[in-house]
Amino acid sequence: MRKSAILCVAAVLWLAACTSNPPASPSSESKPAAQQAQYQTGREAFQKMFLTAHNWAADAQPFRLQSQFTAGAPVNEGKAGLWRASFASPAKNMMKMFMWSGLVGPDAPEAGITFSAEDSWSPSNTSTRIFELGFVKVDSDKAYEVAEKNGGSKLTKANPQQPVFFVLDWDASKNQLLWHVIYGEDEDKAKLRIAVNASTGDFERVER
């Protein structure tokens, strides 16, 4: 009887020892890494949207690509966290806008590619003149370098946080595809606009 009691006490002590380890502290638990904003050049984002646009219409062709400036974007690398591309379908006589977002945060647009509803499109409208993808031989990073050498650096040296955004479209009057490097948060607040040939990388003109 005495031996049985001793064995019972020993078993209880052994079980207590096995369960007496303190729980792991919250700081030792693995935490998911915070999401980082993604930034891409115009051509990188454009190619993603081009593939999605062809799911909408097999004959979809672009007529405009534009970035949106956001604080912290590496504009000196020709990159943005938000790009919008507009495509037209001659067969449908319709157009549709697609957006790529790499931004994060509570007010950020949905990550990845989203798109708008269809709208009517006319081939006679010069402001929505479509162009072939093959004309885009120069990316937004190169366009920024050219713009800096032709007046932009005066603004960025005075203000390293100078907002910059990019627009790619067809110049019907000159029959060429242009990057417009725009120094400002939007068209209304632009301090300077530099046009760069998107096929050759040549400086074209100061637009403002």
C-alpha 141/C-alpha 60 separation (Å) is 25
**pLDDT band per the 50, 70, 90 thresholds, residue 144:** very high
Q: What is the mean pLDDT of the chain?
A: 87
Mean pLDDT within 152-172? 96
Which residue is associated with the tokens 């891409």?
A: 40
Model-level pTM?
0.82
pLDDT, tens digit (0-9, with 9 covering 90-100), for 53-87:
999 999 999 999 999 999 999 999 999 999 999 99
Read off the tokens for 155.
């603004």
Mean pLDDT within 95-114? 94
**pLDDT band per the 50, 70, 90 thresholds, residue 158:** very high
Which residue is associated with the tokens 């549709």?
A: 96
Residue 157 has pLDDT above 60, yes or no: yes
**pLDDT band per the 50, 70, 90 thresholds, residue 33:** low
Which residues, 6+ apart, have CB-to-CB distance to 157 below 8 Å? none
Q: Taking the alpha carbons of 162, 168, 170, 175 in that order, is the dihedral positive or negative?
A: positive
Write the single-letter amino acid at 155: L
**pLDDT band per the 50, 70, 90 thresholds, residue 32:** low
Residue predicted with more confidence, 34 or 193:
193
